[in-house]
Amino acid sequence: MSATEAKPKLVAVEESRRFMIDCFRAVNVPDENAKAMADLLVAADHRGHFSHGMNRLEMYINDLAINSTDGAAIPKILKETPSTAWVDGRNGLGAVVGNFCMDLAIKKAKAVGVGWVCAKGSNHYGMAGWYAMRAMDNGLVGMSMTNTSPLMAPTRSKEAALGTNPLALGAPGKDDKFLLDMATTAVAVGKIEIQRRKAEPLPDGWAQDPHGNVTTDPELAFATGCLMPLGGAEINSGYKGYGLGAMVEVMCGVMAGSNYSTKVRKWTHAGANTAADLGQVFIAVDPNCFAPGFEERVTDLNSRLRNCEPTDSSKPVLVAGDKESLNMQSVDAAGGIKYLENQLKTCEALAQRLHIKPMNFI
């Protein structure tokens, strides 16, 4: 591949969204659900989380095409109290289930101060921060977590027994915010996929080979499917990332009564022939139930952190959410999202297969 061919191409945000909506419609997903999924995926790319944006589109489409996910499913409340709810996602699309659950948690938080909703029967729900932002937009603190297909090797193991099990927490500030969105593995598996697309080696501490040794080979890492926990090796406190991943599993899979750990099926680009039955939790909290001035103090906290003297003056201290905000500014200034050539080739193939209009480049 020449340097010219390998150069990323710009796609307008709305064009990316249009293309993804068309893809979902082509596999019989109702309009509202198609738009929910496209909004989630394009937001991830806009914010720089390419591992959870269009990179995931083909996998969703393949699941829908073989009916391992129900694109028209409507979540159902199984049990609820004024502050809690247990929801059956009915094997629906992750964003559809997630939006339903977080909106329910928001409604409860506005009524009684806290809303805590657990869902079973869900699917991959994209970036966890999407749901925390939904709560923040309503002046609430939002949290979200999900289990996933087993990809994390517990400390001292050479087998995967937990997912990337991400968690997110969003807190609104006064003209500011704090938005943590992180996997409990060293990286999300999508980051391995992006390195494969770029044909670049992995940093140390991301993934293991079949023998439990650290590998920097993205092809071997992807084939092995054994990510290291946050922190990497045991000597670097990887057991803390393992513990956090297990905590998410308790909060999601165990509490929701869904599949968990090695009970969750594997998920590949070809799709999966069985339902995922993922467990997820969505929490909304009204900070006004506690000390007054919450948003002002969030802003003050962020300011104190950002104003720490940096070790390198060209790299200012950031708080959670800053990197994403900067990426959005960059995308807006450029006039579009920069997609890798391999990603665009995948989308071209999808357009042909689904008989839809290909994406236009800028």
* Chain centroid to CA 283: 16
The pLDDT score that the predictor gives to residue 355 is 98
Q: How confident is the model at residue 2 (pLDDT cuts 50, 70, 90)?
A: very low
The pLDDT score that the predictor gives to residue 65 is 92
CA 18/CA 337 separation, integer angstroms: 14
Which tokens hold the place of 203?
């940093």
The pLDDT score that the predictor gives to residue 101 is 99
pLDDT of 213 higher than 80: yes
CB burial of 51-67 (b: ≥16 within 10 Å; e: otherwise) equals: bbbbbbbbbbbbbbbee
How many CA atoms are closer than 13 Å to the CA of 117, on its beta-carbon side? 32
pLDDT of 276 higher than 70: yes
Per-residue pLDDT, averaged over 39-67, amounts to 95
Domains of the chain: 73-186+235-306 (3.30.1370.60)
Question: Can you name the residues that pair with 179 across neighbouring β-strands?
Answer: 170
Q: pTM (2 decimals)?
A: 0.93
Angle (CA) 345 348 352, round 5°: 140
Name residue, tokens 């499913």.
73
Which tokens hold the place of 244?
């956090």
CA 253/CA 121 separation, integer angstroms: 10
The pLDDT score that the predictor gives to residue 335 is 96
CA 251/CA 63 separation, integer angstroms: 26
Per-residue pLDDT, averaged over 79-98, amounts to 98
| In the chain, % of residues over pLDDT 70 | 97
Q: In 3D, which of 21, 141, 190, 162 has the Cα closest to residue 93?
A: 21
pLDDT of 1 higher than 60: no
Burial class (CB in 10 A: 0-12, 13-18, 19+), 128: buried
Mean per-residue pLDDT over the chain, rounded: 95
pLDDT of 289 higher than 50: yes
Per-residue pLDDT, averaged over 4-14, amounts to 80
Residue type, 302: N
The pLDDT score that the predictor gives to residue 6 is 58
The pLDDT score that the predictor gives to residue 354 is 97
CA 30/CA 14 separation, integer angstroms: 19
pLDDT of 160 higher than 50: yes
Ramachandran angles phi, psi of 203, nearest 5°: -65, 155
The pLDDT score that the predictor gives to residue 269 is 63
**pLDDT digits 0-9 by tens, 245-255:** 999 999 999 99
The pLDDT score that the predictor gives to residue 267 is 82
Question: Can you name the residues that pair with 120 across neighbouring β-strands?
Answer: 88
Lowest mean pLDDT among 10-19, 262-271, 305-314, 336-345: 262-271
Q: In 3D, which of 167, 117, 173 has the Cα closest to residue 147?
A: 167
pLDDT of 112 higher than 70: yes
CB burial of 195-207 (b: ≥16 within 10 Å; e: otherwise) equals: bbbeeeebeebbb
Distances in Å between the alpha carbon of 42 and those of 19, 52, 162, 225, 259?
10, 9, 27, 26, 28
| In the chain, % of residues over pLDDT 90 | 91
Per-residue pLDDT, averaged over 173-200, amounts to 91
CB burial of 145-184 (b: ≥16 within 10 Å; e: otherwise) equals: bbbbbbbbbbbeeeebbbbbbbbbbbbbbeebbbbbbbbb
Residue with the bigger pLDDT between 298 and 67: it is 298
Residue type, 64: L
Per-residue pLDDT, averaged over 163-176, amounts to 97
The pLDDT score that the predictor gives to residue 35 is 98
pLDDT of 37 higher than 90: yes
Classified as helix, coil or strand, 80 is strand
Burial class (CB in 10 A: 0-12, 13-18, 19+), 305: middle
CA 25/CA 355 separation, integer angstroms: 11
CA 246/CA 251 separation, integer angstroms: 9
Distances in Å between the alpha carbon of 194 and those of 49, 149, 339, 343?
11, 19, 11, 9
